[in-house]
Structure 1
Amino acid sequence: MFPIRDHNPSGRTPYVVYALMAANILIFVSYVGIMDNARVLQQFYFDYAIIPARSAEGLAPETFVTSMFLHGGWMHLAGNMLFLWVFGDNLEDEMGHLPFLLFYLVAGIGAGLIHVITAPDSVVPTIGASGAIAGVMGGYLLLFPKARVDILLILIVYFRVFTIPAFVMLGVWLGLQFFGSLSSNPDEGGVAYWAHTGGFVVGLIVCIPLWLKRGGPAYWDHTHGHPPHPETKYKLSQSRIPRVPRR
């Protein structure tokens, strides 16, 4: 299940979202050539990735930031940039450019800290913007719970675009991350589920002051849970005309 767009594009150009996407892509391109050299790649990750056992001792604190701009492959990068592009623009519009950048960094660092707390003995390098982007998703859920999001659902050979409220898509995503957190072993590598879950919660909590400043529940009443911009009608949106099966 992949989000492909929301129905309320930002009211102004999301320069920070574009800059973060460009930074992640350019940094990945800068080292993708060493991906097939295990020794060089291991040293690269040692220098710039979060290694929980090292971070738990207070070493290499800068990796909480540098790790946020590293990815393990093209699909890892593409997935993260897709989520950032879909959910980041409205949040940047509501917060402002610099506050959104600070929010993104705080969410990413918070996600990294939670990952270290849950796996303090792990020596598996941890990389990716997922924790920070999970924070963006948490803030989006708080501010715009009823925003309409188009998702691409893929079930083996079945492909379909659906339009659903943001709280459904983000709630399902958070539930999957939480259950993944309970069943996974961080010492064995794989997906850093606790970083995703923690980043989401950090982002939601950090957004509470902004939500209260906008009026709290009154903000939802005013915007009906949508970003405060006119909704866009897409030509390829899900059709409401019922399909008649062939006989």
Structure 2
Amino acid sequence: MFSLTPVVRALLILNVLVFLVTNDAIIDQFGLHSFLSDKFNPIQLLTHMFLHGGFNHIFSNMIGLVVFGPMLERNWGAQRFTFFYFFTGLGAALLFSGINYFEVHDVYETVQAYRDNPSYDNFLGFVDQHAVSYYDRLTPFIDKFKSFPNDSKNIQDSVAIVNRIFSNQVDEPMVGASGAIFGVIMGFGLLFPNTQLFLLFPPIPVKAKYLVIFYGAFELYSGVHRTQTDNVAHFAHIGGMLFAFILIKYWGSQRKTFY
């Protein structure tokens, strides 16, 4: 069905093999953690690209790789395509991590403020602002805290809960090759903008350039309006597309023919 090129085939095999041996411990060690996390290790900027959170996750990424990757590799050659793939993947990780740092740092400051002034109203405000996904699990404690807001044990427990929520957020790893895959999609759209692609949903033809515009606009909107229950790294996708655009325009400025 697909005519795979050497680098695309190697990336596909490697991703599948890693997926087959992946467990929670491997994701915790090699997934990309926040810069504010004690679990962060620079090597995670690379290793997270070969980890996936489930079958649907790896399936969608590998479909993107085998559909769009081979034409780029044939036109650029194996060496340039490999550099492009990892450059966009690393760029995606850096953009995601930078934005995540400012987001988590805001939560950290809120946590610090709560530690200094714990109360029922402030606890409820923290949950509404930074931990709405935990609300159902916290309902029994919230009801108890509301009934006895001045109880010292409730106050101590509320501080412990806030600390635990922050720890869960800062230690949640990001995994997947999506950043590099979105870079590949951007590259395809830039090099072959008028190529007709046939979508599955809806089943209509669309030019590559319009698909790229749609993906970029959707990811930007989703990233800006991201909800706490949305666990998709939209800014990693945007980062992959952005770094792909920058690199291709740089190559073009060097007057090197690559398509």
Same fold (TM over 0.5): yes
**Counterpart residue number, 2:11:** 20
1:167 aligns with 2:149: no
- Say what the alpha-carbon RMSD is for the aligned residues: 2.4
Q: Unaligned 5+ residue runs, structure 1?
A: 35-40, 155-160, 220-227, 229-247
Give the residue type in structure 2 aligned to 1:207: I
Equivalent residue for 2:242? 201
1:136 and 1:129 map into 2 onto residues whose CA distance is 11
Cα displacement (A) at 1:189: 5.9
Q: Residues of 1 paired with 2:39 and 2:171: CA distance? A: 14
Corresponding letter in the other structure for 2:188:
Y
Spell out the pairing of 1:80-229 with structure 2 (5 A cutoff).
80-120=61-101, 121=104, 122-154=170-202, 161-185=203-227, 190-212=231-253, 213=255
Q: Counterpart of 2:26?
A: 44
Unaligned residue ranges in structure 2 (runs of 5+) = 105-169
Q: Distance in 2 between matches of 1:18 and 1:162?
A: 28
Change in 2 beyond 3 A, CA 1:93/1:210: farther
Equivalenced residue count is 191
Higher helix share: 2
* Larger Rg, first or second structure (1 or 2): 2
Distance 1:54-1:20 versus aligned 2 partners, 3 A rule = farther
Contact (CA 8 Å) 1:124, 1:188: kept in 2 or not? no
SS of the residue aligned with 2:194? coil
User: Percent same amino acid among aligned pairs?
Assistant: 30
Alpha-carbon spacing, 1:188–1:60, altered in 2? closer, same or farther (3 Å):
farther
> In structure 2, do the counterparts of structure 1 residues 110 and 100 end up closer, same or farther at CA, with 3 Å as the change threshold?
same
* Aligned residues of 2:185 and 2:212 also touching (Cα < 8 A): yes
Question: Could you tell me whether the CA contact under 8 Å between 2:31 and 2:173 is conserved in 1?
Answer: yes
Task: Using structure 2 for the length normalisation, give the TM-score.
Answer: 0.67
Change (3 A) 1:46 1:20: same
